Amino acid sequence: MDDAPVIYGLEDFQARALTAHTAETEKINFLVGTQSLRRVNQVQLIEFDDDTSIVTKQTFDHPAGEVWKIVGAPQSLDLIATVYNN
């Protein structure tokens, strides 16, 4: 495998909140929170496969507002916390 960079786009969103999802020990996962004044914001769970360089995502609506900070619980895959502005 070469060490080519991997680029991930957020479609029409901007983001300032990004963290590694450390509860997942078998995969490379990141959590991204979006910031938009005009659209419903999102939390995206990004999975990167290091062997194939394939990026997959799961998207969750975050209707409470713009995500300014995001943290995943270190022992739970199902629990995250966000700091947001509405």
Closest CA to 46 of 29, 25, 33, 59: 29
Q: What is the Cα 80 distance to its own chain's centre?
A: 11
Which residues constitute the domain of residue 49? 14-77
Per-residue pLDDT of the chain (86 residues; tens, 9 = 90+): 567 777 777 778 888 899 999 898 888 999 999 999 889 999 999 999 988 888 999 999 999 999 999 999 999 999 999 999 87
pLDDT of residue 6: 75
Question: Is residue 84 domain-resident?
Answer: no
How many independent structural domains does the chain possess? 1
Please report whether residue 9 resides in a domain. Answer: no
Provide the pLDDT for residue 12.
82
**Phi then psi dihedrals of residue 48, to 5 deg:** -115, 125
Question: Comparing C-alpha atoms, which of 84, 5, 77 is closest to residue 45?
Answer: 77
pLDDT at 2: 63
Q: Rounded to two decimals, what is the model's pTM?
A: 0.84
Whether 86 maps to a domain, the answer reads no
Instruction: Tell me if 71 is assigned to some domain.
Output: yes
- Measured distance between the N- and C-terminal CA atoms of the chain, rounded to whole angstroms: 44
How far apart (Å, rounded) are the C-alpha atoms in residues 53 and 27?
A: 12
